[in-house]
Chains A and B, each alone.
Chain A
């Protein structure tokens, strides 16, 4: 059963059936349907290629299974199952079809083997995820969704123009472009992927849109768009040295902003930027170990980041509070979320026995082994930032600090949401304890890295315990306050908006003036048509009288004078010529 069946299409079908079914049926379909895709992906043989001929001579290579696409497809299916369980209580059919369509589009994009199919599903991903933002009733979500789709349209258009150039060169299939010419097509496709991978300074859409999405929508969004872009980086741009610096910048930038942030989901969104930075740097280094490390970290990041998003969204669902400085005491009031959050926080911080430790450290070690000592040190510094903002700041101020009393009543969280969180926590712990479960699937060659050596484990613990000291020393000033951190979106939300308003006002003023001038000109023309005699006399213009023969009737003397003058001229001319 489900042999050679595209797992992405299963998600499309799940979304479709969930959309048309009753509430009870939708819940069942969303919770169980994605597991069929998981079965399907385990039945996909490596090297499988499926095509679909379209428009006479164009063939869509919609599924090509190799190790890289398979491992990304696998984690997308696992996340689809967790997300399906977490979100199955939703009553909105639109959200059901969009979330499942989004997962399906991400998987289809991963398995796409030709540029056109890849681009089609890339755009479909943006379109479906947009409605996860717009489905939220808050007024800010509308603007955030608009900015989100504008950025993704820019990304899609960059790739489109790059793809057109590639097709004109006869390159039809998605492949590594690093060894080819670094022409316009290379840079356009890189720019398009860089937007989706949230490369600084093109990252602000993440922090803008993800917190604006629905409670369940942001869980899906945290897992797919950036990771599909990481997949594209690994497949198309693996070994591009420029990406090393970009990745390090992302890792540090995200960690620093996360320390400042007060909104739980914005903080986690900055950590998407930070963690994706490790993957981008790994892709840039381009060695077998770094590429495997980037893949492993993408796999683990999907699990622990979605877990953290689920925990925070469950708290928001229960309390209605999003700001860290208004929360406190949640460990006692909501122990399931606390338990799962601790696992997620330890995972993202790279604490031994949790999955971040087996993937993040591999990327850092790969940087060191490849001779990029400074890169390794800076990535390690970003790890300290992760510890600081999630493991210490979030965990203390949300769960362990005294309750601020902003949310006296807690709304019961649906069981399926708790089940989704527990599934995520189990995945993080199992991979953390048994890394070979993940390492066996890494696509770029055999994994020689051993995470669990005593010096390595103790080194991580030393760093964690020493970095808690400055946090505690600075604790009274570590509590975030209600504020908004300006980011690169300021450029298109303020100066660009002013420029746009200025140009609009200028165009409006110009149009109004032209309209006015046209109106005046038309009126005068009409008057002239009504009374052509005005051309000979200025007075009627001012008097604005319609033509009347009495106004212009000449006296008999004038007539005689004109006739005599003409006669005189004729006689004079005749005599002169004669």
Chain B
């Protein structure tokens, strides 16, 4: 199994590989003329979807793990605590 949490070197390699593959996909699309014509949506402009994937993922991680988690997470028995009827 792959321990990417503790093995920083392996993690860096996987990050690098993902970045390279994303760039290759972009290069193929560019070479195929996907960005040459008129585009209607901003996500269809060069590099935009790459940027969107990266920034969008960060936005979600920050919102969910840094802002919402401390605000909204409680102990698992939160609803059972101090309840007379423990199974309701």
In angstroms, Cα B52 to Cα A470, docked, is 12
Within the complex, the shortest CB–CB distance from B40 to chain A, in Å, comes to 7
Interface string of B44-80 (1 = CB under 8 A from A): 1000011111101111110111001100111110110
Contact of A483 among B11, B29, B75 (CB under 8 A): B75
What residues on A are CB-neighbors of B42 within 8 Å?
373, 377
- Is the contact region of chain A dominated by helix, strand, or loop, or is it mixed? helix
Given A459-B49, A483-B74, the answer on whether A256 and B60 have CB atoms closer than 8 Å is: yes
Question: Is the beta-carbon distance between B18 and A469 smaller than 8 angstroms?
Answer: yes
Question: Is the beta-carbon distance between B2 and A400 smaller than 8 angstroms?
Answer: yes
In angstroms, Cα B58 to Cα A473, docked, is 10
Given A259-B61, A483-B74, the answer on whether A143 and B87 have CB atoms closer than 8 Å is: yes
Question: Is the beta-carbon distance between B86 and A471 smaller than 8 angstroms?
Answer: no
Question: Is the beta-carbon distance between B65 and A478 smaller than 8 angstroms?
Answer: yes
A368 close to B (CB within 8 Å) = yes
In angstroms, Cα B64 to Cα A209, docked, is 23
Given A466-B18, A484-B78, the answer on whether A402 and B1 have CB atoms closer than 8 Å is: yes
In angstroms, Cα B4 to Cα A471, docked, is 11
Question: Is the beta-carbon distance between B75 and A256 smaller than 8 angstroms?
Answer: no
In angstroms, Cα B55 to Cα A431, docked, is 31
Question: Is the beta-carbon distance between A482 and B76 smaller than 8 angstroms?
Answer: yes
Interface centre among A259, A469, A487 (most CB of B within 10 A): A469
What residues on B are CB-neighbors of A403 within 8 Å?
1
Question: Is the beta-carbon distance between A373 and B65 smaller than 8 angstroms?
Answer: no
Question: Is the beta-carbon distance between A329 and B1 smaller than 8 angstroms?
Answer: yes
Question: Which one of A124-132, A218-226, A380-388, A525-533 contacts B?
Answer: A380-388
Question: Is the beta-carbon distance between B1 and A142 smaller than 8 angstroms?
Answer: no
Contact of A332 among B1, B26, B73, B86 (CB under 8 A): B1
For chain B, the count of residues having a C-beta within 8 Å of the partner chain is 51
Question: Is the beta-carbon distance between B4 and A472 smaller than 8 angstroms?
Answer: yes
What residues on A are CB-neighbors of B49 within 8 Å?
459, 462-463, 466
Question: Is the beta-carbon distance between B26 and A463 smaller than 8 angstroms?
Answer: no
Contact of A381 among B32, B60, B64 (CB under 8 A): B60
Contact of B64 among A139, A260, A455, A494 (CB under 8 A): A260
What residues on B are CB-neighbors of A477 within 8 Å?
65
Contact of A259 among B25, B50, B60, B76 (CB under 8 A): B60
Within the complex, the shortest CB–CB distance from A197 to chain B, in Å, comes to 23
Interface residues in A432-469 by Cβ distance below 8 A to B read 454-455, 458-459, 461-469
What residues on A are CB-neighbors of B25 within 8 Å?
458, 461-462, 465
Interface string of B8-44 (1 = CB under 8 A from A): 0001001100110110011011001010000011111
What residues on A are CB-neighbors of B3 within 8 Å?
401-402
Within the complex, the shortest CB–CB distance from B45 to chain A, in Å, comes to 11
Interface string of A473-496 (1 = CB under 8 A from B): 111111100111111000001100
Interface centre among A462, A471, A478, A484 (most CB of B within 10 A): A462
Closest to A471 in B: B57
Question: Is the beta-carbon distance between B60 and A385 smaller than 8 angstroms?
Answer: yes
What residues on B are CB-neighbors of A475 within 8 Å?
4-5, 11
What residues on A are CB-neighbors of B5 within 8 Å?
401, 475-476, 479
In angstroms, Cα B87 to Cα A140, docked, is 5
Closest to B79 in A: A493
Question: Is the beta-carbon distance between B61 and A474 smaller than 8 angstroms?
Answer: yes
A376 close to B (CB within 8 Å) = yes
Question: Is the beta-carbon distance between B76 and A484 smaller than 8 angstroms?
Answer: yes
Closest to B40 in A: A368
Contact of A331 among B1, B43, B87, B88 (CB under 8 A): B1
What residues on B are CB-neighbors of A255 within 8 Å?
60
What residues on A are CB-neighbors of B14 within 8 Å?
468, 472
What residues on A are CB-neighbors of B44 within 8 Å?
455, 459
Question: Is the beta-carbon distance between B40 and A462 smaller than 8 angstroms?
Answer: no
Closest to A373 in B: B41
Question: Is the beta-carbon distance between A455 and B87 smaller than 8 angstroms?
Answer: no
Within the complex, the shortest CB–CB distance from A488 to chain B, in Å, comes to 11
What residues on B are CB-neighbors of A146 within 8 Å?
88
What residues on B are CB-neighbors of A467 within 8 Å?
53-54, 56-57
Would you give 7 A-B contacts (Cβ < 8 Å), ordered by A? A259-B61, A260-B65, A458-B28, A463-B52, A464-B53, A466-B57, A487-B72
Task: Beyond the given A256-B60, A259-B64, please list 20 additional residue pairs across the A-B interface where CB-CB is below 8 A.
Answer: A143-B88, A255-B60, A259-B60, A368-B41, A377-B42, A380-B52, A380-B56, A384-B52, A400-B1, A461-B21, A462-B49, A465-B21, A466-B19, A466-B22, A468-B18, A469-B19, A470-B54, A484-B76, A486-B73, A494-B79
Q: Which residues of B contact A (CB under 8 A)?
A: 1-5, 11, 14-15, 18-19, 21-22, 25-26, 28-29, 32, 34, 40-44, 49-54, 56-61, 63-65, 68-69, 72-76, 78-79, 85-88
Q: Which residues of A contact B (CB under 8 A)?
A: 139-140, 142-143, 146, 255-257, 259-260, 328-329, 331-332, 368, 373, 376-377, 380-381, 384-385, 387-388, 396, 400-403, 454-455, 458-459, 461-479, 482-487, 493-494
